[in-house]
Amino acid sequence: MVAGWLLIAAGIVLAAPGLVHLCGRLLSGGRPGVLRLLAGRALQEEARRVGRPLGALVAASAALLAARELDGLDGFGPLGALGAAVVLACALGTVATVADEGRAARRTATAALSRLGAPRTLLRGAAVLRATVLVSVLAPVTWLAAYLIALPAGH
């Protein structure tokens, strides 16, 4: 059972860069406007960098949801809750650090767009669109992984 859990977590971490790239392709596919094209290309560019940390965050969140469903943290008391909080904080911190690195890598392109007269609302809108698409794709993956983790226990 534990090997299955580890395979689920490893699969999510390995598949997350592909999911991020797919999100970018879907955003920039068809006849995109400026906002969708900017957001989609940025996701495609950052898929390798941000994918694995996002996958680790999804896997940790799914494990926490499954443990909550199975009442697995109650047996460990406050140390279990503290350990889960540390793992989630580390995963979230890694995602935030990688996102900041991506922002720094896009700084020259952002400056060029600003010099060309692109409004700041366009750049903020692209960032919000990227985050919205990632959450809308990765939230069901988190739920499905939590369900699969809890499945062997009969829940």
Residue 11 is classified by DSSP as H
Looking up tokens 């010099």, which residue turns up? 115
> Coil, helix or strand for 153?
helix
Residue 153 pLDDT greater than 80, yes or no: no
Question: What are the pLDDT digits (tens) for 13-72?
Answer: 999 999 999 999 999 988 988 999 999 999 999 999 999 999 999 999 998 888 888 776
What is the band of 155 on the pLDDT scale with cuts at 50, 70, 90? very low
Q: Of 113, 130, 143, which Cα lies nearest the Cα of 47?
A: 130
Class of residue 145 by CB neighbours under 10 A (exposed 0-12, middle 13-18, buried 19+): buried
Residue type present at position 79: L
pLDDT of residue 117: 87
pLDDT of residue 110: 85
Burial 48-85 (b: 16+ CB within 10 A, else e): eebbbbbbbbbbbbbbbbbbeebebbeeeeeeeeeebe
Question: What are the pLDDT digits (tens) for 91-128?
Answer: 999 999 998 998 888 888 888 888 888 888 998 999 99
Q: Does pTM surpass 0.75?
A: yes
Residue 75 pLDDT greater than 80, yes or no: no
pLDDT of residue 30: 86
Q: What does the alpha-carbon distance between residue 64 and residue 76 come to, in Å, rounded to a whole number?
A: 13
